[in-house]
Each structure stands twice: as C-alpha cells, then as structure tokens.
Amino acid sequence: MSIRLAGLLALAASLAWGAPKRLVILKVDGLPKDIVQKYLDERDPLSGKSRLPWLDRIFRQQGASVDNFYVRGISLSAPSWSMLDTGRNLVIRGNAEYDRYTLRVYDYLNFFPFYVGYARAKRADMPGVEVLDEAGVPLLIDRYPSGERYQSMQLYQRGVSWETLGGTLVHRITSRTPGQLFNEWQLGFELGKGVNEQVERELIAKLADPNVRYLDFFVGDYDHVGHLTNDAASQYGVIRQLDTLAGRIWTAIQGSELADQTIFVLVSDHGMNTDPAVISQGYSLIDFFGSAEGGGHHVITNRHPLTEYKLKGLDPFVSEVVTPSAHSFYLKDQADDYPTALLDLDGNERACVQLRNNRLNELQILLQRPRDSRAIFQLLDEQRASWERTLKELDEELGALRRLIARLDATVKSTSVKWAKSHRKEGAYLDLRRQTAQLHSWQEDEVGYSAYARALARLLRMEPKQFESSKPKTDELIPKRVMGDPNTIYDLQNYAVGPGTDGFRRVNYFELITGVRVRNNVQAQVSSKPVDFVAVRCPVEAPDEEGIWVYESETSQALILSRRGQSGLELRYVPVQGLRQDRSGKVTYTEQPWRDGLPLRIFEDPQLSVPGDRAEWLSGWHTDREWLEAVHQTAYSNAIIGLQEELSRDLPAPAVPPKSADEIVLRRFEERKRHLAQADLLILASNHWNFNTRGFNPGGNHGSFFRISTHSVFMLAGAGIPEGLRVERPYDSLSFMPTLLSLTGLASPDELKRFPGPVIDEFDPNRHRSETAEASLYNCCR
Amino acid sequence: MLRCGRFCLTAIAVIVGLFAENASDERVRVERVPVLGGGELITLICQLPQDAASGKAGQDFPLISILRDTMGDADPSNDALRSVWVLSYARPSIFQRIAGTLPFLYMRAGSSQRHDHGVPVPIFDMGAAGRRTFPKVTRAVLQSEMLDTIGIPVRASTRAYSGNATDFRNQHVWQALNVLSSTSPNDELSASDLERLQARLLLSTRMLGDLVSESYLSAAFNKENTARMETRGHNWELLRQKAEEDGLYFQPLSVGFNKSAHALLWIESHHYDRDMPFNGQFLSIANPFEGNWLEKWKGYKETWYLDANGARVDADIPGARPVEMVPVALYSLDHPRTPLLLVDFRRPSMPKRREMMRRAVDQVTVGVLGLTGFGNWPFLAGNTAWRFVRTRWGAAMDRTARERAYAQLDHSLFLDESLNPALRRELQRRVDGFAMNPMDNGMAVEARIAREQYAALVAFAGRPGGLEKTLARDRSMEIAPEVHSKGSRAMFELAHVATFGRYQHTDRMNTELLAEVDRERRFAWHKRFLEDVLDSTPRAEVAFDMGQVQKSLDAITEIGGENPNLREESEQLVRRVLAQTSDAMTRQRCLECLQRLAKLPVVSTPAAAVSADNGAQ
C-alpha cells in the first residue's frame, strides 16, 4: 500500500499545480507562542532592537505570523506533529499507545529501537510513520521524491542519515581548534548540540542545491529546558539561540539560488505551561492506581518510574515497565501475567488510562471462587453476543491478514538481494525495508490477535460441567497480558477491583480520581486538587452523533456532542449532572442550565467571544470553526474541539481507498487496532500540576487544553508571503499542511478542499493584493 | 557559523542580567574606594541581622572586594577587573596548618580570639587566572610522584593538608558565589562583570578551570546557572513528593540571599499516623514515625493550621485546626540529582558522622593504603563503578557539591534575617557543629576578620606603594608579552616559581608603556565586542546597534594604526564586519577603516620604550 501511495505522491509532486516553491521548515518542539510574543515585543536596552531580533526581522517585518494558532487535540508532541505533518485528523493520540488485545506498545518517542532496527535492516521509518503508513495517511515530506528533500531527525522521520550522526562526531572535533576543544571539555561536552550543528551544516549545504525543494530542521531544545526549569533566563537563552539559528538559515536562504522561490516556516507543535513564579507539581498516577484505594492495579508504563535513579533506567530500549501493586485484591504477585492498567503519562498535563475490561475482572474474581459457577455463566452469557461478534470479525480480518502476509512475504523474499552500498539510499531499497518492517508488524499482529481470538473462543466454549469435576485453572481461561475490550462508563463507575461483600469490591473512578487532594501544596497559585477533570466517550441516542462526557464533580459535568453536518464537524456543549450508565448501556443524566463553574469554565470566561446571549449561543450546535473563533482566547482555548479530536473514534480516510474484499476487511482491522489503542479515561491535570513519574518536570508541562499549552507558533516568510501580515483569525493544526501545499503550489484547489482543515487564505497573495489595493483606494478616497 | 552556540551565549550575557530575579538584598551596599595609581576598590558589604555576631547587631560584614584598574580615567573600555578578595578568607594560623596535616581530624581548630589585621590575600586574580594552574598541577604531580612514595605518614599528612587547604579556599569561593549570585548589576559591577567574576571563581575550583578562555566565561556562567536552576526545581519537587508520600510536610526556605535553595521537612508532633509506611530513599533520615523522640522533643516547634485534608491553611479558614509541628530535617536543593541532608533534627550528629565516614574511607584508601586512581587501575575501575551505582541510586557522592552546600548554608544562615530567629539559632547551632576543617574559623570569627582585613585593605589602597604597586605589577605582567620575548618571560616565570613567588619581574611603567596597556585593553574590549557581534548573528545590523559597531570599528582602526602588531588583526576584524553587514553606513565605515589602515606608516614597537627605562622589582 505504501509503495502505491509513494508513487502517487511522487506523481503528484511532478505534476504540481503552478510553480512549486521550495519549503524550509524550522520545527520547534514545545515553543509557546505567548513567550515568543513577549520577547518579540520587548526591546533590548543595549541595541534598541527586539529581544528576538531575527524572528522580528524575518517573520514580523518581512513575513507573516498566525497570532492565534492552536494545537487541535491534545498538546502533545506525537499527536500534534502527526497532525501538522499530515493535515489529517488524529490517528495517533499519545506519545505511547498500547493495543488492548496484545499489549503491543507503540512507543513513538523512542529513537533507540528505531536506529538499531534500521541498522539491522529491520526498520525503515520511525514508529509513528509506520502507523500512519498503515492507516494510509501520507506525510508532507512524501510529496517530494527522496532526492528532493532533506529531513532532520524527528518523530516522523523516514530513514536514518548515518552521515549526520557520523558527521556529528567528526565535525564536533575537526571544526574546533584545540583551544576551543579544551574550553568545551572544561565546560562539559554536549552531544545534542553537536547533532544540531551537524544538521544545520547539512541543511545549509543542501540549500545550495536547487534540486532540493523540501528541507526541515527539528529542534527540541526549548521543550527540554522548559520542562526542567521555569527560570526565565535559562528559557530565554534557548529561545535566543533559536532566534540566531533562524537568522543563519534565513541568511543562507537569501544567498541561495532559489531565494525568491523559497518559503521559510517556523512552527511549533504545542506550547508549554510554564511560569517563572510557579513550580509545576507532580502527582503519581502509578501510585494512585497501585494503591488500595485506587484499585491495587499492576500498572504498565512505557518508561521506568524515576528512571534517573535506577540502573534499569539506563536501558534505552525499554518500552514497557510493569509496576506491581502490593495492594492488589485478587492478583497479588501476578503483575507480569495480569497487569490491569496501562498508563501513558507523557506531556504530563494529561494521562491516558486503559484499564482491563471490567468483565474480565469480574470473571477472574468469580473463577477464584468456583462455587459461583452460575454467576460465571451468567456473566459469560451476558458477554456472549458481543464476544462472538468480535470473534467472527477477527476471524475474517486475520484470514485476510494471513493472505496479505503470505503475498508480502513472497514479494520480500523475491526482492531480497544484496544491495550495493551506493544504492542503499535509493527509494527501492528503502521501500523494500519498509515492506520488511511492515511484514514484521503484521506478523506480530497476527500472532497477538490470533492468541486473543483463541482465548476468547476458549471462554465461549466453557461449559458448566467443567466445574463439576475439578476447579478450572484461571490462568488457562483468562488470557494473560490482555486488557480486553474498552470499558464503558458503567464499567468505570462500577469497576471491580476485587472480591467484596456483595460479590465485588467496586470503585467509581470518576469520583475517586477527581476527589484526590494533596497536603503538600506550598504555592498559592496551585490548588491542592491535582486532577482537573476526566473525559470519556459516552454513547448517545442519535446514531450519527458521538458524545464525550466531561466529569469534574457530581454537579459539574458536561456532554460534548458532535456530528457531521453540511458544513463539516458540528459540536454542542450540554451542561449535565448526575450522569450514570447502567449495565445494559443506558445512559441517564440531568441537563442543567449554563452557569459559572462548569467544566472548561467557558460561560464565565471574559475572553469568550459570542454574539448575543452567551447561554443561548453556547446551547446551540456550531461548527468547529465557529467554536474556535468563540473560545480560542479563553483559559481552556479550544478544549471543546480538542476533546472531540482526542476521543473521537473517527479515523481519517486513507489516501488510497480500499477496493478488494480483503482490503475492506483489512481496513476494518486497522480501525479496530486504532480503537483498541484509545484511552478508557483521559485525565487532565489542574493548572501547574503534572503526572510525570519518569522524573520531575518542575519547569513546565503541556498536554492540557490550557491556552498556554495549546497556543503554538506558526510564522512564514519568503516567496509570496505578504510582509508584515499578522493573522488574527484563529486556526489550528489542521490548517498547517493545506496552507503550505497551497503556498507551494503542490496541491490542486480540489485536493485542498478534501483536507479537513481550511487553508489560511490570508496568505493568498491575490487576496492580499486585492485587500492592499482596497486599502490604498480607501486611503486615497479619504 | 558553528561556534555560534557559544558566542550567542556570550552575546546575550548582558541581556541575561536583566532576568536577575535575586534582587540585591537591601542590606548589601557597594562601597567604592579610589586606589592610587588609577584604580578603585569595589566592596560588597552586608549589614548583619539584629541578633547575629554574638549580639553585635547591625555591624558591617564586608564580603568581597574587587580591584578594578581604571587607568585613572572614566573610559570603561580600558578597565580591567583584577584581584578578588573574599574578606573572610585569611591565612590559616600555624596551629591550624599543623592541625590540617593530621589525618582523621575532623574538627575546627581555629580560635575564637583570632584576629588578622594584615593585608588580605586575594583569592583570585581575574587578569591572570591561568597563573594558578601551574602551581596546582605541580603540587598534584609532586604529591603523587614524590610525597606519596615516601611512606604512609608523609602521604597521609600531606594529602590531609592539601585537602584541608583546598577545601578551606573553596569554602570561601562558595561564599563569594553565594553573594555574587544574588547581586544585581549596579553602577559599580555590570551584568557582564558579575558573570565573569562568578564564572572565574567557579572555574577556579577545578584543576584546569583557570585556563578556560575569557570568551567562554559567559557560556560557563550560563551553563552553571541553568544547571543550578534545573537542580533546584528538581529537588524542590522531589522533596515535596517524598514528603507527601511519607506523611511529612514540605516547606521551601529562603535563607539569607538564597531564594528557595533550601527546604525543611516537618512532622505533626502529636496526631501523626504511627503506622504510616515510610520510604527513606533520598531523605537520608530514619523513620520519624518510629520511637518516642517527638514526645521528648524540647527544640523548636511551630503551630500550623491544617484543613480537613491535612493541608496547611491560614488560621482564619473555617475548619482549620491548630497543629504543633516539629522540624525533621533541612536539605539543600542545590545538590545535584538529590536534595542533600544538612540538618537532621532527630539525630543531629548523623550528617557529620556520615561525612566523616566518607572522608575517612577516602583517607584510608588514598592516604594510608595509597590507592590512588591512576596509580591503581583495578581500584580506579572498582571505585568508578561503585560511585556510579551509588550516584545513580541517589547517594550524595560529590564531595565538592556537599562542601558547597554546607559552606553556603553556614554563610546564608549567618546573614539571614528572614527566618524566625529561634529557628535560625537552632539551625546555626547544628550547622556550626558540622565544621570539619581544622583551618575553618567559624562565621562569627570570620566576620570579625573580614572587618579587620577590609580596614587593612582600604588603608593599603590609599597608601603609596600599596595597591598602587599591585596595579603597576599587574600592568607590567599584562604588557610583558609585548615587551619581552617568550624566552625571557619563561625565565621570569621560572624565577617566580623557584623563589616560591617572592620574585616577581616587574617593568617600571613609564608613560609609553601605560599608553600601550591602555591601547591593548581598549583593543581587546572592542575586539571582544566585535567578535561577539560577528559570532552571534549572521547579519550584524539585525541584532546590534550599528552606531556601537561603528565606534568599535573606529577604535580598532585607530589602535591598529598606533600599534603595528595589532594592525593585521584590526584589518581582519574590519573585513569580517564588512562581510557580515548590509548596513550601508557601516559598510562605508568599514571601507574607510580599511583605507586608513592601509595608508598608515610604520611606528616603533613598545619594546623600544622599555629598553630606555627598565627595571626589576
């Protein structure tokens, strides 16, 4: 599939509409717009210039800036860059994701396994790219043939440039005099800086090659420092270095042959909730879920808690760590076999939680008491229809997958030849590696899902007579290392954590999590409540609508409804209270009028911008565009859109639609895998709180919908970009790629319309010219 | 292009000064004393808090003096920072020196009656930092190649002495950094001066740190500052979370000039949960919920008000209950990786015993057994592995960092007036008991010594042949590369070392030599500015005031014209500026400067001026 896709994209690139322009993108991880704006506006008393003189010169004086550019979805690197790099809705929703059926970990941030896999010819792309490829979602870089692009090291990286790594080591030494090396040794060498220097060196060299039409440079320094310290001087130091880097790139662009055809872009994936006066406080959800009150879960995370204090923390390949609970009520000492909670805590202002399916818990607890065989079969009968349907569908999907694996295996084997070193950078070689990686991935899925299907079948085959002769072995019936189907709201409100007086000891996670309070809170600006709210998908009656339930307390709740209308996505916020779901799935709640103190604090926010009566406007259906314009300046910015984006089960349509029967079934399998990687619970931290357990992030965090975390940087300069333009109208990540495609002439107007996000048409030179002409005429007439 | 990371930091150095959050304490004032011969003595003086110094409240505590050579004019471009005195740093007495040679002696040997009216010894010379390296390296080589081979008594005692002497000096460097890091830029000390001072002092604690180039000082300062702020925030949060986990209460403390560099852990004295699980990792204290120490506690207590969740609230909050709180431990938040236990209220002697044990192990392995790192590879490998694992697990293995933490707390407590006086006294008493260096005098004695030394220094500054002579000597050393060959300078250096520093070659500074010093300094100043401009931005006019750039171009052109040795360098700089600017006026100025440099006649060298009027002192 990826070969066909690449071919189409290359063809599209070669048949570009209009004169395609060169694109140079400076990608900065976590750079907050507000902080950049502050320094842009401040004057250096010594020079009288902006404190960020190059960004001021390039993007404010000679270029344009989107002043209200937001992350759509969660303000987290992997999801956010995926949206910027594809222009499509979310496929990847966290920095780490887990498949509920197989516990396969999608560890999007870990470079080490990728580099080693690449060296062993088993991988071709970073894990995020592999997932997007499987979902049929192309990247911006795919628009350019491999010889016309230069990509730096980043999350959505295709291939590895060993020359960059090799050059880093060599140039780190050869570009310095012995004196400089001595000085740097005394101050402490920094390898990361060496990599950046090498990438810069290569990028500037590539700018001299007119055949290279796409170049990017990913910088993660600000995000790193912003997490570690809220010290304004330290953060400014990094931003100032970035400013100078932009200056050097811009100067090189100006000196290049394609200077007048080059667009230079500065973009960040999210902001950073950092305040020089406040230290971000951490709360450990691992400890919470492992505690007796939290359910005594054995918890899986993608990294070791307190990594820096463990020898195991030095293992760069780790993607799964089990933290056993000493308080488990029915799975004591079975942490490796029966982990029951999966946490993705990255970004740290939010956590994605997947808990083992409540019915599996109940079944396992009942199996530990074989006298309750009637209850066991009652439970099995309750699940039978759903599990049989799953089993039937899995059977079809695995059949199609096996046929696909056989075909691909034959292709890979037939094309596996010894490649000459000189040919190892060519597209065909990388495509073969890509196919090999794809084959391994599908084989892994086939093994995992087959095992799950067998376990499900075993459960469904279970009969009462098995209980008559001997006690059935729990571990033969309950699949190990499986989370099962996602939990419903009922499950999460009545989660079985162990045997209890009336059958089960149950926990209501909504009340429990939002009820957490801490004693050690020494900052007046920080509340003693680490959790702001919890959000989950909620079934709604209308078949064409999706619902998201936002729970802050028993009396402060909301339902965010979404549907596809004539003009695209439409959303509605319904204040509710007392929402409950019964075991059959029926949801009940009481609507309440708009008032202060509801989740997301929209109603009382002075920055809310709606025409007429607030309550009236807020009670209606509005498109995502209308919501964005109304709420983007509020404390929670575009949370209402972001929550829908993060929790929706919708996936972007593949670039190449499935045609054959197998392709259609495999598409369903792909959708299943993505749904199984989604969270049961999305937990959002209160302001200046974080859930980091890997270490400590006192400087700042992101991941929430607070405006400071979602407000990102998008600035442009160069060919065709109006000078001095400041776009006030709000836009989000979905507009990034179509806007660049429009500006570079790489997509037709028809294709641009198929993107879910609008093109930022303020950059349209025709529109700008006509507006300027209008303004001139107006001034003349005055 | 690729050096820009470093130079960018240099360029922003001054701007970073604007972020100085530790606004100078109002009790600190700067005194400027003119020095004969064209200099000034800048001194930071703190007024002691009301109950410090044994009841002598409100007395001055002169902290640091810095000699600035101004060449007798108001032009800042020919100024040079030279000697730095930490005024509480005095030569150890004979008795202290002897005590310092005794291994396993971990106590203060200074006398409370000690006075020092002599002219103080500078702790550092900003203008000749590298000169300290040769003696340091020589001492290290002598120690390992000669003294260590003589036998256990010599090895153990010489190592004990050098360790104590180094610690004693470093202790005062940390104190100086304590003061300077919380000093805001002022008329006497610019942001750049403060950064360079701090960077040099910090580097002076490392074996080869004095050799770091001037152009890297800003980077060194910024790196240190960022690392310190990261560590402080990290430890702050680690300790807060540990307190939460272990049922204790966390309170960040600002002691003296240090904002939030320390933290106290507290425990409820009566209503605590005796079954509370306690995990002492990172805290280095015994389970405070065990035993009956709280019932017997007679020390400092505070009354707090807690809400129903146990969080501290104001007394007037409805439902707030008063609770008696007892301090458990005080930590430094500046220690790398983990907070460092400085005061254990339950077992006061524990931190000192732990430190004594660490040092004793070092002295046994190195001083007694002679197991030095590079002399015994298996020991080096084992020791390195052991230290790595222990550090990884959060143990405080960095002796320098520990010493710095103790020195800074001692100093900060002495100057503090923000803490509750009773708590401060309690802390001072416990920190005072921690003293381990025989050369240490204690803060109260050092404050008196500082006053005496400052008085002596001020007198020395105004005396003909006093600091005036120091200035002349420094200038002579500065100009030496211009007037003496490399061979001659090597001979002078050899004589200096051979006479244990008693001989110091000094040229008599006549008008021409003074003019040359002036030229060299102005050239260096403008060159540094222009290099910062060129290395920190690809186009000068975007980030810098081009008026200043043009002034510097004029200055280096003029100096290059006066000194043929600098002409080529001037020309190269002008050409680089020309290549890196599009500003029409500056480009025009560059061309004019190049023309002027090309037309200049050859002038005589400064060496000629020396031959006429030379002398050694």
H, E, C per residue of B94-127: HHHHHHHCCCCCCCCCCCCCCCCCCCCCCCEEHH
Distance from CA of A453 to the nearest CA of B (A): 42
Residue A139 has phi, psi (to 5 degrees) of -95, 165
How does the average pLDDT of chain B come out, rounded?
88
Pair B324, B301: CB distance under 8 Å: yes
pLDDT tens digits for range B123-132: 999 988 888 8
The stretch B26-42 carries a mean pLDDT of 92
Largest CA distance in chain A: 99
Planar angle of CA B79, B83, B84, nearest 5 degrees: 115
pLDDT classification of B577: cutoffs 50, 70, 90: very high
The Cα–Cα gap between A489 and A469 comes to 38
B60-69/B80-86 β-pairing: antiparallel
Pair A765, A722: CB distance under 8 Å: yes
Pair A570, A620: CB distance under 8 Å: no
Which residues of A fall within a CB distance of 8 Å from B236? 279, 698
Nearest to B244 among A186, A276, A520 (CB): A520
Q: Which position has the token pair 């390992």?
A: B144
Rg (CA), chain B: 28
pLDDT confidence of residue A202 = 96
Which residues of A fall within a CB distance of 8 Å from B540? none
pLDDT classification of B22: cutoffs 50, 70, 90: very low
Q: A240 vs B8: CB contact, 8 Å cut-off?
A: yes
Alpha-carbon distances of A515 from A520, A530, A535, rounded to whole Å: 16, 9, 15
The Cα–Cα gap between A392 and A460 comes to 12
Which residues of A fall within a CB distance of 8 Å from B265? none
Pair A234, A225: CB distance under 8 Å: yes
The Cα–Cα gap between A661 and A680 comes to 31
pLDDT confidence of residue A718 = 95
Contacts of residue B492, defined as CB under 8 A and 6 or more positions apart, other chains included, come to B480, B484, B505
The stretch B209-234 carries a mean pLDDT of 94
Nearest to A179 among B213, B220, B252 (CB): B213
Nearest to A48 among B206, B225, B545 (CB): B545
Pair B41, B458: CB distance under 8 Å: yes
Question: What element of type H or E holds B222?
Answer: helix B217-246
pLDDT tens digits for range A652-695: 999 999 999 999 999 999 999 999 999 999 999 999 999 999 99
Distance from CA of A745 to the nearest CA of B (A): 31
Residue B107 has phi, psi (to 5 degrees) of -150, 160
A714-718/A63-66 β-pairing: antiparallel
Angle between helices B217-246 and A232-254 (to 10 degrees): 130
Q: Specify the length of chain B in residues.
A: 617
pLDDT confidence of residue A767 = 59
CA B129 to chain centre: 13
Task: Report pTM.
Answer: 0.92
Planar angle of CA A324, A325, A328, nearest 5 degrees: 125
pLDDT confidence of residue A766 = 61
The stretch B236-262 carries a mean pLDDT of 94
Contacts of residue B58, defined as CB under 8 A and 6 or more positions apart, other chains included, come to B47, B48, B50
Q: Would you say residue B3 has pLDDT above 90?
A: no
Question: What element of type H or E holds A421?
Answer: none
More confident position, B8 or A353: A353
Locate A551 and state its tokens.
Answer: 């729970």
Q: Nearest CA to B474 among B70, B179, B89, B144?
A: B70
How much of chain B is helix, strand and coil, in % rounded to 5?
A: 55, 15, 35
Distance from CA of B556 to the nearest CA of A (A): 20
Q: A53 vs B543: CB contact, 8 Å cut-off?
A: yes
Planar angle of CA B125, B129, B131, nearest 5 degrees: 105
The stretch B298-327 carries a mean pLDDT of 94
> Residue B243 carries which side chain, given as an amino acid letter?
A
Locate A151 and state its tokens.
Answer: 């990509």
pLDDT confidence of residue B25 = 62
Three-state SS for A306?
coil
Locate B67 and state its tokens.
Answer: 């000699």
Q: A517 vs B311: CB contact, 8 Å cut-off?
A: yes
pLDDT classification of B500: cutoffs 50, 70, 90: confident
Distance from CA of A278 to the nearest CA of B (A): 10
**Residue-by-residue DSSP string for A762-777:** GG-HHHHHHHHHHHHH
pLDDT confidence of residue B5 = 37
pLDDT confidence of residue B617 = 33
Q: Which position has the token pair 């500052």?
A: B225
**Residue-by-residue DSSP string for A507-536:** E-HHHHHHT---S----TTS-S--EEEEEE
Q: Specify the length of chain A in residues.
A: 782
The Cα–Cα gap between A278 and B538 comes to 36
Complex-level ipTM: 0.92
Pair A283, A691: CB distance under 8 Å: yes
Q: Which residues does chain A have with pLDDT short of 50?
A: 1-7, 10-17, 769-770, 772-782
> Residue B421 carries which side chain, given as an amino acid letter?
P
The Cα–Cα gap between A771 and A773 comes to 5
Q: Would you say residue B533 has pLDDT above 70?
A: yes
Contacts of residue A517, defined as CB under 8 A and 6 or more positions apart, other chains included, come to A528, A529, B309, B311
Q: Would you say residue B589 has pLDDT above 60?
A: yes
Pair B233, B118: CB distance under 8 Å: no
Contacts of residue A297, defined as CB under 8 A and 6 or more positions apart, other chains included, come to A289, A290, A325, A328, A339, A340, A341, A355, A497
pLDDT confidence of residue B240 = 97
The Cα–Cα gap between A68 and A61 comes to 18
pLDDT classification of B11: cutoffs 50, 70, 90: very low
Distance from CA of B237 to the nearest CA of A (A): 6
Q: Would you say residue B189 has pLDDT above 70?
A: yes
Question: Testing the interface with B: which of A197, A222, A229 to mutate, by most B Cβ within 10 A?
Answer: A229
Q: Nearest CA to A197 among B96, B588, B8, B297?
A: B8
Phi-psi region of A688 (alpha: psi -120 to 50; beta: other; left: phi over 0): left
The Cα–Cα gap between B440 and B399 comes to 17
pLDDT confidence of residue B293 = 92
pLDDT classification of B609: cutoffs 50, 70, 90: very low
Q: Would you say residue B9 has pLDDT above 50?
A: no
Which residues of B fall within a CB distance of 8 Å from A183? 212-213, 215-216
pLDDT confidence of residue A332 = 94
